[in-house]
Structure 1
Amino acid sequence: MAPHGKELSEDLKKRIVALHKDGLDYKKIAKTLNLSCSAVAKTIQQFNRTGSTQKQASPWSTKEVECTCSASYPEVVFGK
């Protein structure tokens, strides 16, 4: 699913986490930093899940993988 807004800067994400550690709730952090409550919640949840404010690679991201199978396929011959 594509993001709907701008990506928050790393500095802003770190400020969100710091304010949360200081005891502020999501609404107070959102109001203080002029952000949506959901942006604050997602940032804190990501930090709690991964221990980092940096965006993690999606487990569904496409990676180039070298085929290591040794199967051989018959040659296709087309009629004349």
Structure 2
Amino acid sequence: MLTAPLPLPTVSTGCKHAWHLYILQLQLEHLTCDRDEISRRLGAAGVAHSEHFIPLHRQPYWRVRSALTPAHFPVSEQAFQ
């Protein structure tokens, strides 16, 4: 599934983190499966998870009220993926 190490969040010296969100930044070019498969496998292993920070143009409200598509926001799409 992974062909390279998974970068883990770091905490700056002298700081204490609450770990409210533990963000995994997947390096898609080093995966042998897609993000959806990672999600399925995490769920199957009993790991609760969800997507956060979904771009506005993908939110249901804007998706049905505008003609905006992922192609209009390539940087947002790349960060989201």
TM over 0.5: no
User: TM-score by structure 2 length?
Assistant: 0.25
